Chains A and B, each alone.
Chain A
């Protein structure tokens, strides 16, 4: 027999008291893990949705307004920035660890006439453009995310990557993508051809209808458009999918410093709203945490004090038999460990299960277990039990054995 055995035997003997404290700890951890699981998944979902909306940061020439960009994305002549800015951003991401920037999409627009009608020819670097355009997902492209790395796409990564790479690799200098409205107007189909500014382009894909100006747009390789429009090595805008958290953390300022001669703007409202929502949920979790630590800690401390008082005669007997004060301390701290681990495991599992079941109903999002949160719940419970039990255990260890024996 060891002091730990003695502690376990005592735990099993006084089950009612143990169950009461265990329930208190379990419920507390359940609440924390459950709410935090939903909050974390919600944050990830929100971030994913923002990312999925497409670019939320724009790099524009200083003379161009955001309003112009949103209304028609039609740039006036001369309102350009060097294509070199893309390289600068990529180098900053690679060398300086610029966080939160993904899916750079440089664009150059030129007005073209087809059969007497004016359309917009937009030069893109295929890989980035495809990845940034969520409206086209499901058909040809998939959308990588900047801020929700745990998001599982419907198509497996390798297959999505294959689909994405096919048009990137295959969009040659004389290939193009056409919007749905334009295709309908001229009866254009995939693998057909269309002459633009004296060059014949092969249609790689007809884009799905989006209800935006893109339906009347032709997308071709950036460098081909630059050549046809006699606008070498310049672009009108860089669309960036930025991570909401990084935007909040000052990403825009960093980009402004990197590109002082350009204008860097965000879809401020959307970003701010989503960030505020995420922050509110996290703040609520912290409030829960504080309340549960106080209530749970008080409950455990009360249980331990009561237990030490109830067992004072036993403690006095053990001391009369030669128990050291630290042996008595160990008896109580062993109980605390058992209580903490049992409550933590039960609470974490129950909280996670409730989050998985109730998350879709409450937050309208799918919720999967979060392993680190389960471990956090167990760790929190154990720490709480140990801290709350320490002073009662210390008091028990300092029991005057004589008084304890004579008390009854």
Chain B
């Protein structure tokens, strides 16, 4: 499903080049749960957003389902993210002025689904994550764990093939973290989703079927 070939990413920090990714090569088949571990600043998030068609590499190619994503026009890259990729952020990135239901409806709105379908799908997903009674709560009216579940529901809205999770348990207590990881695991096992999870926790990484290590922008098999 994902093929990364000779990817380099170099940032410019006050005219000084900073290497984010250094000659990264790997393949992730469909339906695999992969964890990427490494210390802070090692390039894990850079790798994640590069795979997610959000950060063009300095050189190299990224293929998703045999399509070179960075040769696509901007509109098609957006469509790729809309239809095939689900993001889960460490800080959830819920839109603060939208309710839980509206936050889950947002990706459905971007996919131009009719309003009724948006509402129904949002209710279904929030009920699935145990928030059926919190539909009209805004993020600041929810606990951290509940916000994470809204983020999970939103991530699932357009039924993506590929899930990219950036430190999904970083802000959670151990029990909630365990629940979140279990949920991700079930998505992979039961629904065949491909999951790439970035984490600095080896405990969390062990839930995945494969671990890649990222050190100073270099990826190796753990």
B52 in the interface, Cβ–Cβ < 8 Å? yes
Binding site of A, secondary structure by majority: helix, strand, loop or mixed? Answer: helix
A273 in the interface, Cβ–Cβ < 8 Å? no
Chain A residues near B52 (CB-CB < 8 A)? 320
Contact bitstring B49-75, A, C-beta under 8 A = 1, else 0 = 100101100000000000000000011
Contact B89 A327 (CB under 8 A): no
B142 in the interface, Cβ–Cβ < 8 Å? no
User: Which A277-326 residues have a C-beta within 8 angstroms of B?
Assistant: 313-314, 316-325
B111 in the interface, Cβ–Cβ < 8 Å? yes
Determine how close the nearest CB of chain B comes to the CB of A209; give it in whole angstroms: 76
Contact bitstring B89-130, A, C-beta under 8 A = 1, else 0 = 101010111100010011111110001001000000000000
Contact B96 A402 (CB under 8 A): no
Q: In the bound complex, what is the Cα–Cα distance between A322 and B82 (angstroms)?
A: 4
Contact A319 B78, CB 8 Å, known A1-B118, A408-B91: yes
A161 in the interface, Cβ–Cβ < 8 Å? no
Contact bitstring B11-27, A, C-beta under 8 A = 1, else 0 = 00000000000000000
A369 in the interface, Cβ–Cβ < 8 Å? no
Contact A1 B105 (CB under 8 A): yes
Contact A318 B110, CB 8 Å, known A13-B97, A324-B78: yes
Chain A residues near B158 (CB-CB < 8 A)? 322
User: Which A122-143 residues have a C-beta within 8 angstroms of B?
Assistant: none
B179 in the interface, Cβ–Cβ < 8 Å? no
A2 in the interface, Cβ–Cβ < 8 Å? yes
Q: CB-nearest residue of chain A relative to B138? A: A13
Determine how close the nearest CB of chain A comes to the CB of B126; give it in whole angstroms: 15
B191 in the interface, Cβ–Cβ < 8 Å? no
Contact A322 B79, CB 8 Å, known A1-B109, A402-B49: yes
B87 in the interface, Cβ–Cβ < 8 Å? yes
B81 in the interface, Cβ–Cβ < 8 Å? yes
B194 in the interface, Cβ–Cβ < 8 Å? no
Chain B residues near A318 (CB-CB < 8 A)? 95, 106, 110
Chain A residues near B83 (CB-CB < 8 A)? 322
Interface size on A, as a range, is 20 to 34
B45 in the interface, Cβ–Cβ < 8 Å? yes
Contact stretch, chosen from A3-11, A245-253, A379-387: A3-11
Contact A401 B93 (CB under 8 A): no
Contact A321 B87, CB 8 Å, known A1-B115, A6-B106: yes
Contact B54 A320 (CB under 8 A): yes
Contact A9 B97, CB 8 Å, known A321-B81, A324-B78: yes
Q: In the bound complex, what is the Cα–Cα distance between A276 and B172 (angstroms)?
A: 76
Q: In the bound complex, what is the Cα–Cα distance between A333 and B95 (angstroms)?
A: 19
Chain A residues near B75 (CB-CB < 8 A)? 324
Determine how close the nearest CB of chain B comes to the CB of A151; give it in whole angstroms: 53
Q: In the bound complex, what is the Cα–Cα distance between A12 and B138 (angstroms)?
A: 14
Contact A317 B95 (CB under 8 A): yes
Chain A residues near B54 (CB-CB < 8 A)? 319-320, 401-402, 405
Chain A residues near B154 (CB-CB < 8 A)? 321
Contact B96 A13 (CB under 8 A): yes
Q: In the bound complex, what is the Cα–Cα distance between A104 and B194 (angstroms)?
A: 92
Contact B87 A2 (CB under 8 A): no
Q: In the bound complex, what is the Cα–Cα distance between A316 and B108 (angstroms)?
A: 17
Determine how close the nearest CB of chain B comes to the CB of A12; give it in whole angstroms: 8
Chain A residues near B96 (CB-CB < 8 A)? 13, 314
Chain A residues near B115 (CB-CB < 8 A)? 1-2
Determine how close the nearest CB of chain B comes to the CB of A332; give it in whole angstroms: 15
Q: In the bound complex, what is the Cα–Cα distance between A14 and B95 (angstroms)?
A: 13
A406 in the interface, Cβ–Cβ < 8 Å? yes
Contact A9 B79 (CB under 8 A): no
Q: In the bound complex, what is the Cα–Cα distance between A3 and B98 (angstroms)?
A: 13
Contact A323 B78, CB 8 Å, known A1-B106, A3-B109: yes
Determine how close the nearest CB of chain A comes to the CB of B13; give it in whole angstroms: 13
Which of A14, A325, A405 makes the CB contact (< 8 A) with B89?
A405
Chain B residues near A321 (CB-CB < 8 A)? 81-82, 87, 106-107, 110, 154
Contact B93 A405 (CB under 8 A): yes
Chain B residues near A401 (CB-CB < 8 A)? 54
Q: CB-nearest residue of chain A relative to B82? A: A322
Q: In the bound complex, what is the Cα–Cα distance between A58 and B89 (angstroms)?
A: 86
Chain A residues near B109 (CB-CB < 8 A)? 1-3, 5-6
Which of B78, B98, B118 makes the CB contact (< 8 A) with A9?
B98
Q: Among B80, B85, B110, which residue has the most Cβ atoms of chain A within 10 A? A: B110
Determine how close the nearest CB of chain A comes to the CB of B196; give it in whole angstroms: 14
Q: In the bound complex, what is the Cα–Cα distance between A185 and B44 (angstroms)?
A: 114
Q: In the bound complex, what is the Cα–Cα distance between A228 and B125 (angstroms)?
A: 105
Q: CB-nearest residue of chain B relative to A5? A: B109
Contact A327 B110, CB 8 Å, known A1-B118, A322-B78, A322-B79: yes
Q: CB-nearest residue of chain A relative to B49? A: A402
Q: CB-nearest residue of chain A relative to B155? A: A321
Determine how close the nearest CB of chain A comes to the CB of B11; give it in whole angstroms: 10
List 6 A–B pairs whose Cβ atoms lie within 8 Å, in order of A's numbering: A1-B108, A10-B97, A13-B96, A314-B93, A325-B74, A402-B54
* Given A1-B109, A5-B109, 7 further pairs, Cβ under 8 A: A12-B97, A14-B97, A320-B52, A322-B81, A322-B85, A322-B158, A324-B110
Q: What 8 A-B pairs have minimum CB-CB distances, sorted nearest first?
A: A322-B82, A13-B97, A317-B93, A322-B81, A402-B55, A321-B107, A402-B54, A1-B109
